[in-house]
Amino acid sequence: MTSPAPAPKSRFLVLHDYGMGGAWWWVHARSAREVLETFAEVEVVARPDVVERADSDLPEVDIDDPTMPPGLDGLRAKRDAQRDRPGFGALADRSILRRHWDGEGDEPTTYLLEVDSDGRRLRQVELAEDGTALKSGPDDWPFNPPAVDLFDPEWADKEIHPDEFGAAWLRARPVDSEQ
């Protein structure tokens, strides 16, 4: 009896967005999901216009290579450390989360986030301690890097029910309103 042949690999444009910049690589893998399961805090960039403009001189690696270029090696090591922890990958393919921000110079706020499969915000509700609720979307944010690594076990207990998000969204006022 023979084993089925492994899936063929494709070339994926991979970005680690660290806020004010990013590191880019071409990664040969069997799927975009395999890339996300292998490297922490990355996204697979699929927009055709971005892929077409991507630098052909970016580091190019095979996901099965034992060593990775600087930057990508640390993201793989981080994912490897997460893999055996409870909750690893629990939020993959999920979309609504609660995140508490304890301030760091600002008032403590709870954020309800609706995110897409790469962890990028689609909609957000900010719930202040005084009861104020503000809603915002991509048109309100000058930057929208991935806010959540959905494979990170730290996020496993942050999922909320879509009805909770929907109710908060309906009662919140737009972030740019004057009231």
Is there a contact between 65 and 28 (Cβ–Cβ < 8 Å)? no
Q: Which residue shows structure tokens 């929907």?
A: 166
Residue 89 lies in a domain: no
Question: What pTM, to 2 d.p., does this model score?
Answer: 0.82
Domain co-membership, 39 together with 78: yes
Residue 71 lies in a domain: yes
The string of pLDDT tens digits covering residues 83-95 is: 999 999 988 887 8
Residue 90 lies in a domain: no
Q: Which strand ranges, in their side-by-side order, compose the sheet holding 60-62? A: 43-45, 10-17, 22-29, 60-62
Residue 30: the pLDDT is 97
Is there a contact between 160 and 96 (Cβ–Cβ < 8 Å)? yes
The string of pLDDT tens digits covering residues 6-46 is: 789 999 999 998 877 889 999 999 999 999 999 999 999 98
Domain co-membership, 71 together with 123: no
Residue 2: is it exposed, middle or buried by C-beta count within 10 angstroms (0-12/13-18/19+)?
exposed
Rounded to whole angstroms, the Cα distance separating 120 from 138 reads 10
Query: Could you give the number of structural domains in the chain?
Result: 2
Q: Is 1 or 156 the better-scoring residue by pLDDT?
A: 156
Domain co-membership, 59 together with 119: no
The string of pLDDT tens digits covering residues 104-118 is: 666 788 999 999 888
The DSSP call for residue 22 is E
Domain co-membership, 34 together with 67: yes
Residue 102 lies in a domain: yes
Domain co-membership, 68 together with 110: no
For 19, the domain range is 10-83
Residue 178: the pLDDT is 52
Give 8's contacts (C-beta < 8 A, 6+ positions apart).
30
Residue 157 phi, psi dihedral angles, 5° rounding: -95, 15
The string of pLDDT tens digits covering residues 124-179 is: 999 998 889 999 999 998 888 888 899 999 999 999 999 999 999 999 999 886 55
